[in-house]
């Protein structure tokens, strides 16, 4: 561990980049669920989520992220699934 007053070394920067890259890959390969939203006018709940995908080192990270499927799921007040749309 680096002391508070010493500048980071090259190996520390490399390690930090590797950690960030692992988290980016994790974020792409696994589904991401957004908060459940209540729609009072219809007494329904909605949830969005991105599907996971395989990380491809030959593609730009943004391209991979935007190619993931986006799902909309609607639930009634008893949380019974009523609708699912894939975009």
Q: Residue 77's closest CA among 33, 51, 39?
A: 39
Would you say residue 25 has pLDDT above 70? yes
Would you say residue 35 has pLDDT above 80? yes
pTM for the full predicted model:
0.67
Residue 78 pLDDT: 93
Residues 6+ apart with CB under 8 A from 10: none
- Mean pLDDT for the stretch of residues 55-67: 85
Measured from the Cβ of residue 28, the count of other Cβ atoms closer than 10 Å reads 20
Residue 43 pLDDT: 94
Higher pLDDT, 79 or 6: 79
Residue 81 pLDDT: 93
Residue 54 pLDDT: 84
């Amino acid at each position: 561990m680096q002391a508070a007053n010493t500048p980071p070394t090259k190996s520390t920067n490399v390690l930090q980049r590797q950690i960030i890259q692992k988290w980016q890959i994790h974020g792409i390969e696994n589904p991401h669920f957004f908060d459940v939203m209540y729609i009072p006018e219809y007494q329904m709940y909605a949830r969005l989520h991105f599907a996971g995908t395989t990380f491809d080192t030959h593609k730009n990270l943004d391209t991979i992220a935007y190619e993931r499927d986006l799902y909309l799921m609607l639930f009634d007040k008893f949380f019974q699934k009523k609708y699912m749309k894939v975009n």
